[in-house]
C-alpha cells in the first residue's frame, strides 16, 4: 500500500484492531483485555501516535482536514472543474458534498494529492465545511461523515468534526489551533482492521518573532488492538529552533497516562546526551520502571522536514 499519512502515522506498527463504536467513554471496551504496560511493545504502540499528534508535522488530523477542505472547495467553486473517472460527486442542498465511489479525482485536469502517483484511489463519504473569515481570525469547521479513501489494497476512513483556527494574537505572533471533540479513525487492509477514537483533542501551534515556535497539545486516545485495548490521556509541549534543524524539537515534554491507572505512564523528554536528533522515552507500570527503559528514540523516525 502507498505511504499514506494514516499508515505511516497511526499504523506504523503491524497489529490487528477490531471495530469499536464512537463516543467519548470507555464503555464500548468492556470485557476486552487491556494492553500490558510492562511490555515494550505496548509502550511503542501507544507512544508513536501521540508523538504525531503532538505537533503539526505529519499530523494525520491536520492533513485530513486540508485534504477534505480542498476537495470541498474545489467541488463547490464554479470556476474549478472536478471529475471522477467513475463514480460521482453530488452537491447537496445544505452545502455539503457527497462522494460516491469517486475514482481518481481530478481537479482542473490534475490528479489531487492522494492520486498524484496514479494509483487508483476511490473517495466516498460526505464533507461539509463552514468558513469564518474576519480581519483577525480564519476558522474552518470540517465535518466528515464516513469520509473514506480506498486504495488498491486497503482503506482509511474518518468520522467527526475538525475545527481549525488561524489568528494573529499580535502583529508578530501567529497562532494555529486545531480541535477535535470526538473522531473515529479506521484503517483496513486485506488482513487487518485498526480503529482509534480521538477525543477532547487540542493542538496549538504558536509562531512569534520574539520566541521559538511552540506546539502544545492535549487529548484522549483510545485504541482496540486485536481485542487488547488502551485508553490514555496525554499532554505535550514542544519547542523548535535554537539552531536545531527546523523539524527537530529543541525541547520536548510529553506525558501519557493510562486513564484507568495514572501510575501507568510514558514520558518523552529531551535526550540527556544533548543529541538534537534523539529523545529519551521512559515508561512506568504501576509506578515501577519498565524493563529496557528509559531508552533513546530518533526524531527522524517521526518528524520529517
Residue 2 in this model has a pLDDT that exceeds 50: no
Contact criterion met (CB below 8 Å) for 160 and 184: yes
Let me know if residue 73 belongs to a domain. Answer: yes
Residue 280 lies in a domain: yes
pLDDT band at 211 (very low <50, low <70, confident <90, very high): confident
In a domain, 26, yes or no: no
pLDDT at 267: 98
The pLDDT of 57-66, averaged and rounded, is 92
Look at the pTM and tell me if it is higher than 0.85. Answer: yes
In a domain, 11, yes or no: no
Give the model's confidence band at 119: pLDDT under 50 very low, under 70 low, under 90 confident, else very high: confident
| CA distance linking residue 204 with residue 47, whole number of Å | 19
Determine, yes or no, domain membership for 23. Answer: no
pLDDT at 164: 97
Q: What is the pLDDT of residue 305?
A: 54
Give Cβ neighbours of residue 171 (< 8 Å, ≥ 6 apart). none
> Is the residue at 48 inside a domain?
yes
- In this prediction, residue 6 carries a pLDDT of 41
Report the share of the chain in percent with pLDDT over 90: 66
In the chain, % of residues over pLDDT 70 = 86
pLDDT at 124: 98
In a domain, 9, yes or no: no
Number of domains in the chain: 1
Mean pLDDT across 208-214: 86
User: Quick one: the chain helix, strand, coil %, rounded to 5?
Assistant: 15, 50, 35
How far is 124 from 81, CA to CA, in rounded Å? 18
For residue 246, give Cα distances in angstroms to 5, 57, 144, 212, 299.
20, 11, 32, 10, 12
- Greatest mean pLDDT range, 11-15, 207-211, 215-219: 215-219
The helix (run of H) or strand (run of E) holding residue 184 is: strand 173-189
Domain that holds residue 41: 33-301
Rounded to an integer, the average pLDDT of 101-107 is 95
47: part of which helix (H) or strand (E)?
helix 40-53
pLDDT over threshold 70, residue 113: no
Q: Does residue 25 lie in a domain region? A: no
pLDDT in tens, 231-248: 999 999 999 986 667 778
- Contact status, residue 86 vs residue 103, Cβ threshold 8 Å: yes
Amino acid at each position: 500500500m502507498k505511504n499514506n499519512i494514516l499508515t505511516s502515522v497511526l499504523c506504523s506498527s503491524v497489529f490487528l484492531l477490531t471495530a469499536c463504536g464512537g463516543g467519548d467513554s470507555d464503555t464500548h471496551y468492556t470485557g476486552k483485555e487491556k494492553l500490558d504496560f510492562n511490555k515494550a511493545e505496548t509502550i511503542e504502540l501507544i507512544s508513536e501516535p501521540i508523538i504525531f499528534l503532538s505537533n503539526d508535522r505529519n499530523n494525520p488530523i491536520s492533513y485530513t482536514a486540508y485534504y477534505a477542505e480542498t476537495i470541498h472547495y474545489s467541488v463547490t467553486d464554479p470556476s474549478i472543474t472536478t471529475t471522477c473517472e467513475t463514480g460521482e460527486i453530488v452537491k447537496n442542498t445544505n452545502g455539503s458534498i457527497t462522494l460516491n465511489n469517486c475514482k481518481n479525482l481530478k481537479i482542473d485536469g490534475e490528479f489531487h494529492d492522494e492520486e498524484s502517483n496514479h494509483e487508483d484511489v476511490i473517495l466516498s463519504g460526505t464533507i461539509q465545511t463552514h468558513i469564518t473569515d474576519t480581519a483577525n481570525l480564519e476558522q474552518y469547521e470540517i465535518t466528515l461523515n464516513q469520509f473514506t479513501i480506498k486504495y488498491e489494497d486497503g482503506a482509511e476512513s474518518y468520522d467527526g468534526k475538525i475545527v481549525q483556527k488561524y489568528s494573529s494574537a499580535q502583529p508578530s505572533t501567529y497562532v494555529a489551533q486545531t480541535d477535535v471533540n470526538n473522531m473515529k479513525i479506521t484503517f483496513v487492509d486485506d488482513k487487518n482492521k485498526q480503529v482509534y477514537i480521538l477525543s477532547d483533542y487540542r493542538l496549538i501551534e504558536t509562531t512569534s518573532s520574539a520566541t521559538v515556535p511552540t506546539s502544545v497539545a492535549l487529548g484522549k486516545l483510545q485504541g482496540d488492538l486485536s481485542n487488547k485495548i488502551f485508553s490514555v490521556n496525554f499532554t505535550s509541549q514542544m519547542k523548535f529552533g535554537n539552531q536545531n534543524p527546523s523539524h527537530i524539537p529543541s525541547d520536548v515534554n510529553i506525558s501519557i497516562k493510562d486513564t484507568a491507572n495514572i501510575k501507568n505512564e510514558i514520558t518523552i523528554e529531551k535526550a540527556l546526551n544533548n543529541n538534537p536528533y534523539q529523545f529519551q522515552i521512559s515508561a512506568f507500570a504501576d509506578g515501577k520502571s519498565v524493563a529496557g527503559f528509559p531508552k533513546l528514540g530518533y526524531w527522524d523516525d517521526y518528524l520529517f522536514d
